[in-house]
Each structure stands twice: as C-alpha cells, then as structure tokens.
Amino acid sequence: MRRNGEKLLIVNADDANLTPGINRAILKAHDEGIVSSTTFLINLPVSSMTVRSFQKRKKLGIGLHLNVTLGRPAAGPGRVPTLVDPQGCFRKRADQVSRLPSAGDLAREYEAQITLFRKCFSRMPTHLDTHHQLHDNPRFLHAVVRLARRWKLPMRRSGLWKEGDTPRGLVSSRTWLGDLSPAGFWRKEKLLKQLRNLRPGVSELMCHPGKADLRLRRLSSFTEGREAELKVFSDPGMRKYLEGFRVRLTHFGMWYNW
C-alpha cells in the first residue's frame, strides 16, 4: 500500500507491436531500465512469439493501445464503415478528427479490440489508452470512458480533465507527462528535472523507445527521437536516480496498491 506522500511512477512505453524494432526496444528498456508498462496495438498483425516475449516479463504491465488510425479494424470494415476508407483501412488521424466516426462504430471497434486482446493474451489489459492520444477529443474520450467503466479498467488521463481530477467510477493517474510531438522526445536532462520535481501520488510518464529502422520509417515520422528515448529509458543508472528521488515504479495493473 502507498504511504502518505509517496511518489509512484508509471513509465509507459507506447506503440508495442508497431514494429519488431519497437518491441525489442520496449523490452530492453524494461529489462535494463525503468519502463514499467506498455500498451499494445492489438489490431495489427501479431505473432504468438511476440505475445510470449511480452508475457515473460511478469513485472511489465501490458495495456491496450486502442487504435483507429492505422491498419485494419478488428471488428471488420463492414461493421465500422465510418472509421475506414474505401480500401477498408482506418482513416488517418486528421481524417478521423475532422470527420468524426459514429459513436456506435467506435464502440464496436473498441470492444472488438478488447476481445482480441483477451484472445491473444488470455487475460484483460492492465489499462486503456489511445494511439495518437485521440481521447483528448470528446467523441473518443466518451467511448474510452464507457469501455473503462464497463470492464472496470484503469485508463490514461485525458487532456480534457483538470489535473488531479478523475471522473467518478474511473481509475487513472494524478498526472500525465509526455509530448506527442516528434521533436518533444525525452532527453536525460528534461527527464531528470521531471523526476526530481514529481509530486506525491501516482504519475504516468509516456515514452516511445524504438529502433529507427526502415520498417518504422515507412509507418511513422517519429524515428530518431525513439532511438534517443531508448538510450535514456534503458539506462540502468536511471534506477539509481529514482531511488535518490524516492520514486517507486508501478503500473496500472497494480492500482489496488496505490
């Protein structure tokens, strides 16, 4: 149980299953550094070997990275027509936000991704968040909140919430730290400043360690920044800094100990 004034930190690496290079980077940052949690893109092709490699890490929280901007829908294109383009693939982020999908299609797809995650991992995800932080938009936030309440799962904070406030019936961190801009990746000095000034309670820090290989470059504009974050978050010395700052690592699956 958490003691009064204790600082708990979730270091969540986004985009698991985007590429093999990202998977290796996340696992390295967990094994050697301070990554304590990740979120998995379940609608993308996934091998049993990939699932096993994540399941072997018993202290790594594995959440669901709800995704409607890349790949094909888990529900099938015909069941979510407002989410897909004529080829049956998800519309890009800008299109999803400018022409919002129907609430029904969004709910069906999110439920399908929960079902697929349970099938692959034989358990529920530790928490929910969204690819590209789409739940900073009210339409997507409403869908994620309904899903979190239905399945009694923690979820990542939305930028639409006031800091420290969490809607009734939901579990989330007190604070969320991260930058979605490709230029806003974590540098060691910036990270140490945040850790040094961390407030008591539970904070989530989002990161994107990865390998900037050809496969990633075909999918994302965020490349070199992932390499830089891999170096920072896999550094064993970061654990000593956390001890010095009296910060304890946790993940969303341990919320009952918060």
Distance CA 44, CA 22 (A): 14
Reported as a single tens digit per residue, the pLDDT across 202-237 is: 999 999 999 989 998 998 888 899 999 999 999 999
Asked if residue 1 belongs to a domain, the reply is no
Summarize the confidence of residues 135-164 as an average pLDDT: 96
Could you tell me which residue, 180 or 152, shows the higher pLDDT?
152
**Does residue 70 belong to any structural domain of this protein?**
yes
In a domain, 2, yes or no: no
In a domain, 32, yes or no: yes
Identify the pLDDT of residue 180.
Answer: 82
- Decide if 200 is inside a domain: yes
- Has residue 232 been placed in a domain? yes
Task: Note the pLDDT tens digit of each residue in 176-194.
Answer: 999 888 788 999 999 999 9
CATH number at residue 217: 3.20.20.370
For 101-125, what is each residue's pLDDT tens digit? Answer: 999 999 999 999 999 999 999 999 9
Residue 204 lies in domain: 7-257
Contact 176, 204 (CB under 8 A): yes
* Residue 168 maps to a domain: yes
pTM for the whole structure: 0.95
Mean pLDDT in residue range 30-40: 98
Residue 74 within a domain = yes
Closest of 180, 177, 229, 181 to residue 204, by C-alpha = 177
Task: Domain count for the chain, please give it.
Answer: 1
